[in-house]
């Protein structure tokens, strides 16, 4: 579940910089019980994440929209031949964005492991 105030975090565990793009479509249930999808939003807009570092997206205040989950399309584009894993996490803040989980200790959403490859990959992930 997304939570009241959240952000996404990426960890680049490869030996090269990786450019990350993450777009989501948040969802919730409408008053009649049907699925209500929000417009697509960009959480990471081609952000270059250095090797062995974390990068945080912007905090999202979900208090008004009350979205429950999100479908994500995530692209990992290594700058050169990469070996290692790039991971995506969901972090929730209970105090409006002042305090966040420590790096890598949010909820694991998904990852991709590169094996001596410079090929960009795009994959779906979800928060439920």
The predicted-structure confidence for 2-16, as pLDDT tens digits, reads as follows 999 999 999 999 999
3-state SS class at 44: strand
What was the pLDDT predicted at 77? 98
What was the pLDDT predicted at 50? 98
pLDDT tens digits along 49-64: 999 999 999 999 999 9
Burial class of residue 75 (count of CB atoms within 10 Å of its CB; 0-12, 13-18, 19+): middle
CA separation, residue 87 to residues 62, 66, 75, 120 (Å): 23, 26, 11, 15
Number of domains the chain contains: 1
Burial class of residue 83 (count of CB atoms within 10 Å of its CB; 0-12, 13-18, 19+): middle
Question: In terms of residue numbers, what domain contains 97?
Answer: 5-127
Q: On the CB side of 67, how many CA atoms lie within 13 Å of its CA?
A: 22
pLDDT tens digits along 63-97: 999 999 999 999 999 999 999 999 999 999 999 99
Question: Mean pLDDT across the stretch 113-120?
Answer: 97
């Amino acid at each position: 579940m997304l939570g009241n105030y959240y952000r996404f975090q990426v960890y680049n565990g490869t030996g090269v910089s990786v450019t990350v793009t993450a777009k989501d479509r948040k969802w919730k249930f409408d008053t009649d019980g049907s699925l209500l999808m929000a417009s697509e939003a960009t959480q990471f807009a081609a952000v270059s994440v250095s090797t062995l570092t974390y990068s945080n997206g912007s905090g999202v205040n979900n208090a008004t929209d009350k979205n429950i989950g999100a479908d994500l399309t995530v692209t990992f584009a290594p700058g050169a031949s990469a070996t290692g894993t790039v991971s995506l996490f969901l972090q929730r803040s209970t105090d409006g964005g002042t305090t966040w989980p420590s790096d890598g200790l949010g909820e694991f959403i998904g990852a991709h492991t590169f094996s001596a490859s410079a090929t960009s990959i795009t994959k779906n992930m979800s928060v439920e």
